């Protein structure tokens, strides 16, 4: 018997309500969806609710890339997305595809599919877990430096995901500065290319204005010009270039849900995230 999918309120609202409404009232503000992936593997994680899962099977990933291809999307890096959003020159449907945590399965399971469709991607590396010998992070093997260089030759771009993947908000300014600078330098030393993009580890404290302002200064001082985080929305000209929102994608994203996310029908999740975080902060 076919297993019944668990009921998902986020899916029901996005696919059944928000997307049809958006179609009726289309006021297109220029935006670029930035997809957030982690591991592409048949070893799926089992977080209780699909919203929190971070793995995508190779079969589901292939279907998602096929969907982007069939719908006329071309890929760009988050850095290029910032430039295009700010200049207002987006000549066709664009999407950024990002991968956090530097897992080895990107090389095995994601890159061949991306290449087939002529897509590029940005991989954010937590550099303490990338070595000449294989290391692992959260129980999954990571890329080695020689694999990073190999992928770079094939057109993949790399960004920093800090050195040790810490909760940055709990660290001193000096330690945050080291996390930003040392990871950037490690990747630049290994690839010979400038690193200008950053991915914030863990849930982004979007409502903590003073932390955000301080981190923005530190990122700029370290030489970053674009950055991504876990705030849910499509990136637009109004987005902070160093804290661009993304759309989380995982194994549970079928065509309807992916389509809803790409069209902006998942952005309402971002507003709820923000309300919850603000409420939590008030009562902290």
Q: Contact positions toward Zn ion, by CB under 5 A?
A: 100-101, 201
Decide whether 78 or 201 has the Cβ nearer to Zn ion: 201
Decide whether 61 or 129 has the Cβ nearer to Zn ion: 129
Cβ atoms of 35 and 98 closer than 8 Å: yes
CB of 45 to Zn ion, least distance (A): 13
CB of 200 to Zn ion, least distance (A): 9
Cα angle, residue 125 at apex, residues 127 and 133 outer, rounded to 5°: 55
CB of 201 to Zn ion, least distance (A): 5
* Cα–Cα distance measured from residue 19 to residue 21, given in angstroms and rounded to the nearest whole number: 5
CB of 129 to Zn ion, least distance (A): 10
CB of 160 to Zn ion, least distance (A): 11
* Cα–Cα distance measured from residue 82 to residue 80, given in angstroms and rounded to the nearest whole number: 5
For residue 210, give the 3-state DSSP assignment. helix
Decide whether 201 or 270 has the Cβ nearer to Zn ion: 201
Decide whether 101 or 206 has the Cβ nearer to Zn ion: 101
CB of 267 to Zn ion, least distance (A): 22
What is each CA distance from 145 to 72, 124, 185, 234, in whole angstroms?
33, 13, 13, 31
Decide whether 18 or 123 has the Cβ nearer to Zn ion: 123
* Cα–Cα distance measured from residue 111 to residue 3, given in angstroms and rounded to the nearest whole number: 30
Decide whether 119 or 200 has the Cβ nearer to Zn ion: 200
Residue nearest to Zn ion (CB): 100
CB of 19 to Zn ion, least distance (A): 29
CA nearest 144: which of 162, 160, 125?
Answer: 125
Cα angle, residue 253 at apex, residues 250 and 257 outer, rounded to 5°: 140
* Cα–Cα distance measured from residue 101 to residue 54, given in angstroms and rounded to the nearest whole number: 11
For residue 187, give the 3-state DSSP assignment. helix
Decide whether 85 or 168 has the Cβ nearer to Zn ion: 168
Q: Which region holds residue 26: left if phi is over 0, alpha if psi is between -120 and 50, else beta? A: beta
């Amino acid at each position: 018997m076919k297993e019944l999918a668990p009921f998902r309120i986020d899916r029901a609202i996005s696919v059944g309500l928000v997307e049809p409404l958006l179609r009726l009232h289309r006021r297109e503000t220029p935006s670029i969806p930035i997809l957030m992936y982690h591991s592409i593997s048949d070893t799926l994680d089992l977080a209780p609710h699909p919203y929190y899962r971070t793995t995508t099977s190779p079969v589901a990933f292939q279907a998602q890339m096929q969907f982007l291809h069939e719908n006329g999307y071309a890929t760009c890096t988050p850095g290029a997305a910032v430039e295009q959003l700010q200049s207002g020159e987006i000549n066709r449907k664009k999407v950024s595809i990002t991968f956090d945590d530097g897992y080895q399965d990107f090389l095995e399971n994601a890159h061949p599919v991306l290449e087939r469709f002529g897509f590029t991607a940005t991989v954010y590396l937590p550099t303490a877990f990338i070595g000449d010998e294989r290391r692992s992070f959260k129980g999954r093997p990571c890329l080695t430096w020689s694999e990073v260089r190999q992928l770079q030759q094939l057109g993949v771009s790399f960004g920093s995901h800090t050195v040790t993947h810490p909760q940055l908000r709990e660290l001193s300014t000096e330690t945050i500065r080291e996390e930003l600078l040392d990871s950037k330098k490690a990747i630049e030393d290994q690839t010979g290319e400038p690193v200008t993009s950053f991915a914030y580890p863990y849930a982004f404290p979007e409502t903590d204005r003073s932390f955000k302002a301080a981190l923005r200064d530190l990122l700029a001082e370290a030489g970053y010009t674009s950055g991504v985080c876990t705030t849910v929305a499509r990136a637009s000209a109004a987005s902070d270039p160093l804290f661009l929102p993304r759309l989380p994608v995982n194994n549970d994203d079928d065509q309807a849900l992916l389509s809803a996310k790409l069209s902006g029908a998942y952005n309402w999740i971002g507003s709820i995230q923000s309300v919850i975080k603000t409420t939590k902060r008030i009562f902290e």
